[in-house]
Copies of this chain bind each other. A is one copy, B any other.
């Protein structure tokens, strides 16, 4: 029995590429292709594939959300996040959501196939080459909900006073949160806090 695979990516070119890569393997069968996270969840339910190759960035529902939804319904789901490197935070979140693997898009087709087989067999592919090392050198940073909220508003260019109004708190509170954020990120000004958080995937523009 072949390994049944579902792909989820909003770029047709990427879907085509994965289809082409999989087509060469006799024992791997592409059962469906989703174009966004919501569709991925629906198609997973409909086909119950052995492995899901999921993009992180998608419309409607992103890869993290789709992974959470699928794993919630089927704890045994084998999902591989296949994306470009967008910061260590996304890796933590993907694995935290239940992903069994994390592949970078600059890997060769052979690596994709290899990963599908490994994950289908119940294994995990926590990038031994790339992410693993990056993760070693970048201590994990956990911001609280409030800190994340304040940082997000800071990224929009709001002043402490306006952030305070936005969240219904005093400016002193906002300053305290931002101070903690800067400490955790190891920087000493709001602009650096924002760019570092963006690089590490802790926050996103949009």
- The chain A residues found within 8 Å of chain B, CB to CB, are 10-21, 82, 84, 105-109, 112, 154-157, 159, 187-196, 198-199, 205
| B192 close to A157 (CB less than 8 A) | yes
Q: Min CB distance, A51 to chain B, in Å?
A: 16
Q: Which of B84, B105, B205 contacts A199 (CB 8 A)?
A: B205
Main secondary structure of the interface of A (DSSP, over half): helix
Chain B's nearest CB lies how many Å from the CB of A10?
A: 6
7 tightest Cβ-Cβ pairs between the two chains A and B: A157-B192, A17-B17, A16-B17, A13-B17, A20-B20, A11-B105, A16-B20
Nearest-CB residue, chain B, relative to A191: B191
Q: Which of A17, A187, A198 has the most CB of B within 10 A?
A: A17
Between A and B, 17 residue pairs with Cβ closer than 8 Å are A11-B105, A12-B108, A13-B82, A14-B105, A16-B20, A16-B21, A16-B109, A17-B18, A17-B20, A154-B191, A155-B191, A156-B192, A157-B187, A157-B192, A157-B193, A157-B196, A191-B191
